Amino acid sequence: MRRLPIEALTPEAFAPFGEVISPDAAREVWQINAGTAQRFHALALAESAGEGGRIGISLFRAEPRALPIAITMLERHPLGSQAFVPLHARPWLVVVAASPEAAPRAFLARDGAGVNFRRGTWHHPLLALEATGDFLVVDRIGPGDNCEEAALAQPWLLALEQAPEPIHDTANFR
């Protein structure tokens, strides 16, 4: 099976698909609340197209996957962006593609980093690792068909030895 390299998740590498949601990715940081807090401002902006859409806040509770993982399908949301932010600091995997025909790219998110998929970005459903994990989700809620799925002509394999660094050493909670 064709193997996908697993890349480190950086704002630059992920830019074609959306934004990384982490303090490190901030372009603007403000002191607020009389200096007792910092605002890492506008890490991502939510998108909603079509009539009647609202931006909602939901939670996903995802069972962990064990590597190797076969990537056999992708989905996209034509009417809105979708952000996932882990409510834990375990690593997880983000798989995106320019199209169902293109080679996907896989990113290892760690230390609590989240992502925002730009509207219409092809991506794999949530890939939690190690333990059941909760993720905050910010996406469009409203009428219209906002999910397309595509089966891949040939699967891609995500394997541990493709990772840029050891995955299973990140039990640091913040």
The residues that touch a second copy, with contacts defined as CB under 8 A, are 21-23, 26, 32-34, 36-46, 54-63, 65, 83, 85, 87-88, 112, 114, 116, 125-126, 134, 136-138, 141, 173-174
- From the CB of 42, what's the least distance to a second copy, in Å? 5
- From the CB of 119, what's the least distance to a second copy, in Å? 13
- From the CB of 89, what's the least distance to a second copy, in Å? 8
Instruction: Classify residue 80 by its DSSP letter.
Output: B
The three-state secondary structure class of 23 is helix
Nearer to a second copy, 24 or 101 (CB): 24
Q: Pick from 27, 10, 29: which is nearest to 113 by CA?
A: 10
- From the CB of 86, what's the least distance to a second copy, in Å? 8
Nearer to a second copy, 31 or 161 (CB): 31
Element (H, E) at 12: helix 11-14
Nearer to a second copy, 23 or 164 (CB): 23
Q: Pick from 139, 142, 137, 81: which is nearest to 114 by CA?
A: 137
Nearer to a second copy, 5 or 29 (CB): 29
Pairing of strands 122-123, 54-62: unpaired
Nearer to a second copy, 164 or 172 (CB): 172
Residue 78 and residue 58: Cα distance in Å, rounded?
19
Residue 12 tokens, joined = 């630059």
Residue 123 tokens, joined = 């991506």
Element (H, E) at 128: strand 127-129
Nearer to a second copy, 72 or 99 (CB): 72
Residue 151 tokens, joined = 């089966």
- From the CB of 87, what's the least distance to a second copy, in Å? 6
Torsion, Cα 81 158 70 16, to 10 degrees, reads: 20
- From the CB of 9, what's the least distance to a second copy, in Å? 16
